[in-house]
Structure 1
Amino acid sequence: MTALLYLGITLATVAGMEFVAWAAHKYLMHGWLWNWHEDHHRPHHEEDGFFEKNDLFFLVFAIPSAASYIIGLNVDNLFWLTFVGIGISIYGLIYFLIHDVYIHRRFSWFKQLDSKYSRAILRAHGNHHAVTEKDGCESFGLLVVDDKYFGKRSEWQKKEEVSS
């Protein structure tokens, strides 16, 4: 029973992190921490180096994960927090693999991915990056993708008009 509880905590944390990441992206990265995120919305050139200021957010998200591990492993009755840390770490790995590897091609892996879902992720993220300024963006999440991105770009406006 305890193993199932810990698995549930881990999976709930992974799922919940999509919404934490969405909110952080919309309200922090496109808010008062725009100066860290701004370079991610600009073309990246080889002479700029491998890293962007935006990569600092890796550290921001690593802090609650590490704190969950440290507290969970060292404080009586808080062992369950270890599995929150594991969930945050798993989401971080998923985010890295999809965002940095698959979408932005920072490494040459996953070139063969081609499904309706993977194309929808690319379309949503591409639409987000079509705006190079702090305001006016949409699609702040990573894994949860609006239905319109499963269709062709020419169909997006039609779907928005029907739902209005």
Structure 2
Amino acid sequence: MMLILFYISITIVSFVLMECATWLIHKYIMHGFGWYFHEDHHQPGYPHVFEKNDWFFVFGAIPSITLFYFGTWYGINYLFFIGLGILFYGMAYFFIHDVLIHRRFKWFDKTNNKYLRGLRKAHKIHHKHLGKEEGECFGMLYVPIKYFRM
């Protein structure tokens, strides 16, 4: 029972730490030397189904896949559950960012949740800057309180 709770804790901590990693990657890589891949995401009305920015999903999947691989070599170990936390974060990112915020898929058009409205507002503020400088709100799930009051 303790081992199960340990593995659940590792998965949850990995998920939470991914928000920190996402903020750092978004601010310093996507809005830094990786701007070539992220720039089209900041252009209004980008006409294609896929963006160059979607390559970050592929790059983000590599650590999770690697941890699944090494986490199952001699039975399941803690590495598997770190990979699981990363996978769950990637799934949350897809549903929150691509489905709810950018509406790339029209699955949940009528959502009126206060938290999700705050997420949308913060993301709109992030996207009002079309260049890579002067950005704000680089995370995905953490939103400063001021966006819930707007």
Counterpart in the other structure of 1:35: 36
Of the candidates 128, 141, 147, which is equivalent to residue 130 of structure 1? 128
Structure 1 distance, partners of 2:28, 2:75, is 33
Structure 1 distance, partners of 2:45, 2:51, is 8
SS in 1 for 2:89: helix
Normalising by structure 1, we get a TM-score of 0.87
Deviation at 1:115? Answer: 1.9
Counterpart in the other structure of 2:144: 146
Counterpart in the other structure of 2:7: 6
Counterpart in the other structure of 1:106: 104
Structure 2 distance, partners of 1:103, 1:12, is 25
RMSD of equivalent CA atoms: 1.3
Normalising by structure 2, we get a TM-score of 0.95
For the pair 1:117 / 2:118, whether they are aligned, the reply is no
Structure 1 residue runs of 4 or more that deviate by more than 3 Å after TM superposition? none
Q: Which amino acid aligns with 2:113?
A: S
Structure 2 unmatched ranges of 5 or more:
none
Counterpart in the other structure of 1:157: none
SS in 2 for 1:73: coil
1:47-83 CA-partner distances (Å, limit 9, x unpaired): x321000000001100100010011111x59811000
Q: Which amino acid aligns with 2:49?
A: F
Computing the radius of gyration over CA atoms, which structure comes out larger, 1 or 2? 1
Identity of aligned residues (%): 46
Q: How does 1:52-91 map to 2 (within 5 A)?
A: 52-74=51-73, 76=74, 79-91=77-89
Structure 1 distance, partners of 2:60, 2:53, is 12
Q: Which amino acid aligns with 2:144?
A: D
